[in-house]
Structure 1
Amino acid sequence: MNISYRHLRAFIEVAHSTTFAEAAAKLFLTQPALSSSIKKMEAELGGRLFKRNTRNVSLTPEGEALLPNALRLSRDWDNTFSDIQNLFAMAKGQLTIAAMPSFAESHLPSLLREFHHKAPNINLRVVDVVMEQVVQEIRNGRAEIGFTFEPEHKEGLEFESLFTDHFVVVASVEQAAKFNNMASWQQCLNFPLVMMNRGSAVRKWTEAELLLHGEPNIVAETGQLATLGKLIKSGLGISIMPSICQQQMEALGLMALPFSDSSSGTLPCDKEPCDRGPSDQAPLCKRVGLLRNERRGLSVSAQTLWQLTTERYTSKKDVC
């Protein structure tokens, strides 16, 4: 059926007018053009929608039956395109992002504050989950942007590095005193270790590094960073974790110790600080960055957050 939005609007205006001339004036059309539109619509539907005489025009019973549906379709059409315009203008909408808890706590608040200043009408939904789930949220399209360590398998994903994180030893004050302010992998083997669960990438990376130097004594594992901190604080053991977690650990009264060959904390650069030999003092380091599904386009609001984030960290890359 070849009935357009233009035909629908013409029908509604004539239905709300007393004459074709009045309706034509409202639509900024000539009367013959309006009459032609109505006749084409009637031909498509198979019958007359209006009763016409020299003085006025009125709806037939079929026209009266059509009018409420025509009004609903017109409102739906207008609302649909208004909503899309609002999305493009960031006047409304929702942006879902996924972030590792460590990034969500330390870096994300200031980023989202700045984004909210630019797009105050966008509702933000933050999914704070472990790295592996961040990747899944992006792959499955449940989140548009992820903040995570660089995945080992990036097929179908786009990763943009923001900074490089140097892992640190986290210990209670009493345990930290035995390190003389610097750590080595060999020293870590002299302490009981509490670690993230075996399925996590952080556990995989740290355990693999420890095994290069000996046999680690892992006495407990957990899936929550906060629980890990409480276990360390209790004196159960030490842990090795990204320095992006340092703020959260220090809030618990714990100490973060760099490895002897480590630069301090996170490095906001795209160079290659992770290219290192098997030194006992060399830090473990991994890139942290933005993640998106390269098969899906970003919404305007997601593009804005992506650009805002990359510009902020790009401005720091000359400090390496």
Structure 2
Amino acid sequence: MYNVSFRQVQIFVCIAQSHTFAQAAEKMCLSQPALSSAIKKMESQLGGVLFSRTTRKVELSPEGRQFLPVAERLISDWQEAFSDLYNLFSLGRGKLSIAAMPSFAAGLLPGILQQFKTEFPNIKLSVTDVVMESVIKDVKAGRAEIGFSFEHEQMEGLQFHPILTDNFIAVLPANHPLCEHQILSWSQIAAYPFVAMNKGSAIRRWIDSFMEMNHLALNIVVEASQLATLGQFVKHDLGVSVVPALCQEQMLSKDLVCLNIHQSGLSKRVGIIRQTNGNLSSVASSFWQWAVNNISYPN
């Protein structure tokens, strides 16, 4: 294997561009003997001459002329590689992968990212909006470095920093009798057909657990796997529902009515998550610290 150093390549290019050893030695801050020795060693390692030397000037040999553009490209690539690395560490450039619940991604996240991009305009962002369970899986698997999610019961291996507490709200069709009220009780909600998330979702599990603790029962008539679908079912008067307040904007866009629940008792913390033991990129680490210091919402 050839043992040619990057320094030798720099010296070769400098001599080729200067045409004399004296000029090249001055540019490289070397003595002429040291410069000449470095090139001779390089030629010895390669097994051929790179320059044709005369008393007046130095000219490239045919092999040297062929190698010069390659050497120039090597130097350029080297400099660009370390410039890119510096930019990554200094947040001059980089890419950040984020997983977020759809309700958060469509609601609060755009404003958060706008603030971050104002301070770090060259960072590229990749956002995946998936259900809460997938947010947690993606962060644990390293497919996303940062996640925005409800605080889940199974957060092993994850660090959670809360940014708000979300109170659940009632969602009704626009023509529903309960729309006459400004605030509802759980008993009033339970008296009507109910549209629920499917049993595999955390939202369904939280609502079921809350109802059981309060000795109430829901008349579930249809289930959905996505909150957007749940909203459509409510819009078509299949029943009423209860969702996190994060979804309020999404539900209002469907012309539904959103009402607070008196002494709701059902609230969950929403926050930012990352791997506990995983090594974050410089970009992700800086975003985490920035988010911890800058993101908070009144309850």
What is the TM-score with the length of structure 2 in the denominator? 0.87
How far the C-alpha of 1:26 sits from its partner, in A, is 2.3
For 1:118, the equivalent position in structure 2 comes to: 119
How far the C-alpha of 1:78 sits from its partner, in A, is 1.3
For 2:54, the equivalent position in structure 1 comes to: 53
Which of 237, 252, 267 is the matching residue for 1:235?
A: 237
Query: Match of 1:202, SS?
Result: helix
Could you tell me which runs of 5 or more consecutive residues in structure 2 were left unpaired when the two chains were aligned: none
- Structure 2 vs 1, CA of residues 53 and 196 (structure 1 numbering), >3 Å: closer, same or farther? same
For 1:312, the equivalent position in structure 2 comes to: 294
Question: How far apart in 1 are the matches of 2:94 and 2:23?
Answer: 39
Query: Match of 2:59, SS?
Result: strand
Is this contact kept in 1: 2:138–2:144, CA < 8 A?
yes
Question: How far apart in 1 are the matches of 2:122 and 2:232?
Answer: 38
How far the C-alpha of 1:180 sits from its partner, in A, is 6.6
Question: How far apart in 2 are the matches of 1:180 and 1:106?
Answer: 24
User: Once superposed, what is the RMSD of the aligned Cα atoms?
Assistant: 2.5
Question: How far apart in 1 are the matches of 2:137 and 2:41?
Answer: 52
How far the C-alpha of 1:148 sits from its partner, in A, is 0.7
Question: How far apart in 2 are the matches of 1:246 and 1:197?
Answer: 20
Identity fraction in percent: 46
> What are the equivalent positions in structure 2 for 1:163-202 lying under 5 Å apart?
163-173=164-174, 174-177=176-179, 181-184=183-186, 186-202=187-203
For 1:260, the equivalent position in structure 2 comes to: 262
> What are the equivalent positions in structure 2 for 1:22-101 lying under 5 Å apart?
22-101=23-102
What is the TM-score with the length of structure 1 in the denominator? 0.82
For 2:272, the equivalent position in structure 1 comes to: 290
How far the C-alpha of 1:90 sits from its partner, in A, is 3.2
Question: How far apart in 2 are the matches of 1:228 and 1:82?
Answer: 49
For 1:249, the equivalent position in structure 2 comes to: 251
How far the C-alpha of 1:197 sits from its partner, in A, is 3.0
Structure 1, residues 57-76: CA drift from partner, whole Å, max 9, x if none? 22334433432322222121
Question: How far apart in 2 are the matches of 1:238 and 1:124?
Answer: 37
- Structure 2 vs 1, CA of residues 91 and 203 (structure 1 numbering), >3 Å: closer, same or farther? same
How far the C-alpha of 1:217 sits from its partner, in A, is 2.5
Structure 1, residues 224-277: CA drift from partner, whole Å, max 9, x if none? 322211211222111121111123223333333333324xxxxxxxxxxxxxxx
Is this contact kept in 1: 2:107–2:246, CA < 8 A?
yes
Matched, 1:209 2:210: yes
How far the C-alpha of 1:18 sits from its partner, in A, is 1.7
Give aligned pairs, total. Answer: 296
Amino acid at match of 2:194: L
